[in-house]
Amino acid sequence: ERQIEVADGPYEQNFSLTEAQHDLDEVSVTGVHNRYRRPNPSSSLRLGEPLLEAPQSVQVITNQLLADQQIFTPVEGITRNVSGAVAPGHWNNVYARINIRGFNTGFGSLRNGMSTGNYFGPLAEDASFIDRVEFVKGPGGFLLSNSDAGGFYNVVLKAPTGVSRKSVGLTLGSFGQYRATADIDGKLSKDNKLQYRLNVMGQSLDSYQGYDFNRKVALAPSLRYQLDDKTTITAQYVYQYSNFSVAGNYVFSPNGYKSLSQDFSVYDPSMGSSRVNDHSSFANIEHRLNDNWKVTGQVGYLRYAMRGLSNWIAAGSFNPNATFNVSGVNGGRAIAGTNVLNRSLFLYDVDNTTLVGQAFLNGTVETGPVQHRIIVGLDASSKSYAADFSAAGFLPLD
């Protein structure tokens, strides 16, 4: 260090610098490369090519992303990861309704590439047995004989991987949320030809709305058998049970937004509760003819039963001059008044049955430097729907 005084006029000062070396502590940055990236679609999507080469907009949401974002069903925020997709939020306790590019994808989704959706069902898939969710934007004639113009989404169920591993999860959250999951993956034979996987889930969840609740259980066992190096058979079963307060619990006020307390609810425990039993089974056989061609056949069966109630705000609520002619529960009647909200209660009894079968052939053919990917398939289904909806009358709330 040297002090230099500078006066008027020219001034020259010679100096030299010596090197000083200081070592910093080592800093290591680690992470998982491409944690959520899946370059290839599932075999159930039948494209048989990397997503980057597919002439279709396909976006894959992995189970790792669902876990990191704590998304437990397709309606709990999954669409924030997908451009052009929204979940309007209707009967979220029951089924998943997702719009893609402005078009409603209908009730339910595809499971393992098969259309299992039906009226008011099936029950939205729990993330505990979801391997990935594939969003296909635009018409999907390559996959289905009948699809929506905006697109669809395909829920791929977890299947045996042949790797022995076990995991247990516990989630605690706001509004009385308790959730436990278990995922057991392994092999049943020493030669690794027979593999198994078991997913189990139990959840109890209340809500910011008074009296609202949802209790769920899911069980998803699966088996895979490797007949030889070219043929694989996979069998999967999923059972879901849900007991919840009401399918739709919508709140309205004549005094505008935020005029009611956050926990206000039009549901009352005396109304009862709703229950859903959802059974689905799938069987798949895949045989590779050679390095360029393979044939796949699969069937799916779904049986869905829903018993419960829905609650709506009746026309004429908050109107002192309104007239009502329908008797309410226990002989009560609707009441007209400026501050009276009349709840219109409906009971429902729904049974859905779906049987679907598919067979398709995938292959590649080369013409000089040009490669052709070929899909030939058959998609057939039989769906039945029986429901009884009945009005239970009015329940006034002052």
pLDDT band at residue 146 using 50, 70 and 90 as cut-offs: low
Q: Sort strands 165-173 and 151-157 into parallel, antiparallel or unpaired.
A: unpaired
3-state SS class at 84 = coil
Beta strand ranges found along 116-157 (DSSP E): 130-137, 151-157
244-290 pLDDT, tens digit each = 988 777 777 778 888 888 888 888 888 889 999 999 999 999 999 99
What region does 142 belong to: left with phi over 0, alpha with psi -120 to 50, or beta?
A: alpha
pLDDT at 181: 97
Domain locations along the chain: 43-397
DSSP 302-357: EEEEEEEEEEEEPTTTT-TT----SB-GGG-B----TTPEEEEEEEEEEEEEEEEE
The CATH code of domain 43-397 reads: 2.170.130.10
Is a pLDDT exceeding 80 seen at residue 298?
yes
pLDDT at 276: 94
| Mean predicted confidence (pLDDT) in 140-149 | 72
Q: At 67, which helix (H) or strand (E)?
A: helix 63-68
Is a pLDDT exceeding 60 seen at residue 186?
yes
Is a pLDDT exceeding 50 seen at residue 225?
yes
- 204 in Cβ contact with 176 (< 8 Å): yes
What's the DSSP call for residue 255?
Answer: T
Cα angle at 34 between 30 and 39, to 5 degrees? Answer: 165
Q: At 4, which helix (H) or strand (E)?
A: none
Average pLDDT of the chain is: 86
Rounded CA-CA distance 128/131 in Å is: 9
| Mean predicted confidence (pLDDT) in 101-123 | 82
333-347 pLDDT, tens digit each = 667 777 788 888 888
354-388 pLDDT, tens digit each = 999 999 999 999 999 998 989 898 989 999 999 88
Is a pLDDT exceeding 70 seen at residue 295?
yes
pLDDT band at residue 189 using 50, 70 and 90 as cut-offs: very high
pTM listed for this prediction: 0.84
